[in-house]
Amino acid sequence: MNNLTKLILRRKSVRRFADCSITDAQLNTLLRVAMAAPSAKNAQPWHFVVVEESETLLRLSQLLPYAKMLSSATLAIVVCGDTTIHQGEGAQNWIMDCSAATQNILLVAESLELGAVWTAAYPYSDRIDAVSSALQLPPHIMPLNVIPIGAPMGVERPLDKWKPERIHKERWNSADSAVVNDVFAESL
């Protein structure tokens, strides 16, 4: 198993943070990998609001019902999409593009031994309104999520989500259910 595979399998949502500082170099790395994500037509419709002020982190934790851990995070990255970039049938592509950017942030946070978790803003109108208002986002900028980042307290463990029954060989109703051997079964 190579190092990237190990990292992906090790990543987990972290919701309990200890005090820590995050260096400018670490923050820069997280933003650089976010912007390295694939995007439809390479449109890169993302913006990132970095929140470090403890009052704002506390305010967001009070406004977002499933993001209480923001109050103990060192900082948060709010991943936002410019909804005017993709048009027509592709108008929703900002969601996929910003999700890919988010996953890059989550994986590289893990690689830096930082804890992080995707907490939803989109598609919940009350959470979108709360984040937009707290961060003074313009109307065409949609917050996809808020990612609290800090030092993991070490309580969370990666989940094993391997489900061979979710794999379909050649067509949906394949007679052969054991289509893929779990090559990692012995090494995990």
Binding site for ligand FMN (CB under 6 A): 12-13, 15, 66-67, 117-120, 159
Please, which residue, 133 or 177, has the CB nearer to ligand FMN? 133
Smallest distance from the beta carbon of 93 to ligand FMN, in angstroms?
Answer: 16
Smallest distance from the beta carbon of 12 to ligand FMN, in angstroms?
Answer: 4
Question: Peptide bond before 143: cis, by omega within 30 degrees of 0?
Answer: no
Smallest distance from the beta carbon of 33 to ligand FMN, in angstroms?
Answer: 17
Smallest distance from the beta carbon of 120 to ligand FMN, in angstroms?
Answer: 4
Please, which residue, 28 or 154, has the CB nearer to ligand FMN? 154
CA atoms within 13 A on the CB side of 54: 4
Smallest distance from the beta carbon of 67 to ligand FMN, in angstroms?
Answer: 6
Please, which residue, 159 or 178, has the CB nearer to ligand FMN? 159
Dihedral angle computed from the Cα positions of residues 124, 126, 132 and 135, in that order, rounded to the nearest 10 degrees: -110
Smallest distance from the beta carbon of 10 to ligand FMN, in angstroms?
Answer: 10
CA distances from 152 to 69, 126, 187 (A): 11, 29, 25
How is residue 67 written in tokens?
């993001």
Please, which residue, 10 or 41, has the CB nearer to ligand FMN? 10
The answer to whether the CB of 86 falls within 8 A of the CB of 152 is: no
The answer to whether the CB of 37 falls within 8 A of the CB of 104 is: yes
Angle among Cα 142, 79, 118 to the nearest 5 degrees reads 115
Please, which residue, 22 or 146, has the CB nearer to ligand FMN? 146
Please, which residue, 39 or 119, has the CB nearer to ligand FMN? 119
- Cα–Cα distance between 46 and 27 in angstroms, integer? 16
